[in-house]
Every structure is written in structure tokens, then in C-alpha cells.
């Protein structure tokens, strides 16, 4: 999986519709994690859809309510549709130091994890139904727990990153077609383990509609 220098006009791409209804029907390939990075010139446009599109030499910023915008230096290149349970994670070539920012796009069912403005991970997510919607806005991570048991729903929530005082969190889930959450952001367990390790209390999570 390559890394695209420059920024992004859109973090679109996965081709996943609301509440886990994908736009295609072929079987899901195995989740991917790419250890090798090759630099792609900033004039390149991503070959799959419009996930990556930007003018050469420009590093755009992604807005975050009640927080400083996220300046994007590079994105992971994703050249094929991502399915439920898929993720990409690649830290190669990214400095170990730098603020971690997480961006969740509910309309496209995608999460992106950035370190120092470089995208190091992206995954297809689950989110809340109309009866228990996932809130939008920018939230600091309030608490972290590698193993957490929800007292409200009597359910395991591994690699939990709590965002609100009423229990909305990012956590590992079975990310499958047609599934939803009670307002949390559900991500594949292997991806959740990596997000948990890369984040800390106080890091900012922006959720957009």
C-alpha cells in the first residue's frame, strides 16, 4: 500500500452505504495491513474513486469543530474498495513523534488515524442507528481501557476509547454488513488494537456527518 504525499480534498472512498449496506455484492477480501511504503508524487490522483484528490504542492486542512483544523501531509493510498472488516495500517516513513488525531466520517463509514498530519490507518466502521445516533463534533479521549465491559448493555468493548460522559466510545466490534451500534464507533479488533496503542487520553477525535 503506497503513501500519497500532499493532502486530500476528500477522504471518501470505501464505497460503503448507510448502516452497513455496501454498493457491491462480491465476497469481502481479507483485511489488509501493508508494511511497505513507496512515495508517490504530489501530482498523482488516487486510482480508486475520489478518496485522494488534491492540487500539487498544496496541503489542505480538514475542519474540526471546536478544535484546530487537521493539516494533512500524506494519506495512505487505497486502490480498491474496502469491505466490512477491512482496514489498512502503515506507519512506515512516518515520524514516531507527533499528535494523534482521529477522524470519523459517518456518511462514508470510514475512520482515519493521523500522526503528525500523516494518515497511518483507515478502516470501515459501524455507527449508531437513528434511535441511538453517533454524535458529531470533536471530542477528547476521556478514558482508555484495553478490556472493558459495558454495564449498560452487558457487552464486551475491547480497546475502548471513551469520548463522552454518557458512554459513547470507539471500540472493537464485529464489523459486518447490516450491523449497527448503540451510538459508539465500532472498528475491527485488529485495527482497534493498533488505534489503542497509537492514541492517548486527551487526543482529539472528530466525527463528521
Q: Is the CATH number of domain 3-208 2.40.440.10?
A: yes
Q: Which residues contact 57 (CB under 8 A, 6 or more apart)?
A: 6, 42
For residue 22, is pLDDT > 80? Answer: no
For 129-164, the pLDDT digits (tens) are: 878 899 999 999 999 998 766 666 656 779 999 999
Which residues have C-beta within 8 Å of that of residue 25, sequence separation ≥ 6? Answer: none
Q: State the Rg of the chain over Cα.
A: 16
Q: pLDDT tens digits for 49-108? A: 445 455 666 777 788 988 999 988 888 878 778 889 999 999 988 999 999 999 999 988
Query: What is the mean pLDDT of the segment spanning 27-49?
Result: 33
CB 112 within 8 A of CB 102: yes
Domain map of the chain by residue range?
A: 3-208
Amino acid at each position: 500500500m503506497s503513501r500519497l504525499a500532499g493532502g486530500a480534498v476528500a477522504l471518501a472512498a470505501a464505497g460503503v452505504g448507510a448502516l452497513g449496506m455496501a454498493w457491491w455484492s462480491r465476497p469481502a477480501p481479507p483485511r489488509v495491513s501493508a508494511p511497505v511504503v513507496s512515495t508517490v508524487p504530489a501530482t498523482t490522483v488516487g486510482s480508486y474513486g475520489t478518496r485522494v484528490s488534491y492540487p500539487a504542492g498544496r496541503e489542505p486542512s480538514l475542519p474540526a469543530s471546536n478544535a484546530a483544523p487537521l493539516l494533512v501531509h500524506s494519506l495512505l493510498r487505497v486502490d480498491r474498495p474496502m469491505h466490512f472488516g477491512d482496514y489498512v495500517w502503515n506507519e512506515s516513513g512516518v515520524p514516531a513523534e507527533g499528535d494523534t488525531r482521529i477522524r470519523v466520517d459517518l456518511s462514508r463509514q470510514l475512520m482515519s488515524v493521523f500522526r503528525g498530519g500523516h494518515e497511518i490507518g483507515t478502516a470501515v466502521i459501524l455507527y449508531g442507528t437513528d434511535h441511538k445516533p453517533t454524535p458529531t463534533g470533536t471530542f477528547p479521549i476521556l478514558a482508555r481501557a484495553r478490556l472493558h465491559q459495558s454495564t449498560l448493555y452487558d457487552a464486551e468493548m475491547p480497546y475502548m476509547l471513551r469520548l463522552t460522559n454518557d458512554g459513547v466510545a470507539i471500540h472493537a466490534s464485529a464489523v459486518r454488513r447490516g450491523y449497527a451500534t448503540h451510538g459508539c464507533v465500532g472498528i475491527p479488533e485488529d485495527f482497534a488494537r493498533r488505534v489503542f496503542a497509537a492514541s492517548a487520553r486527551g487526543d482529539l477525535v472528530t466525527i463528521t456527518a
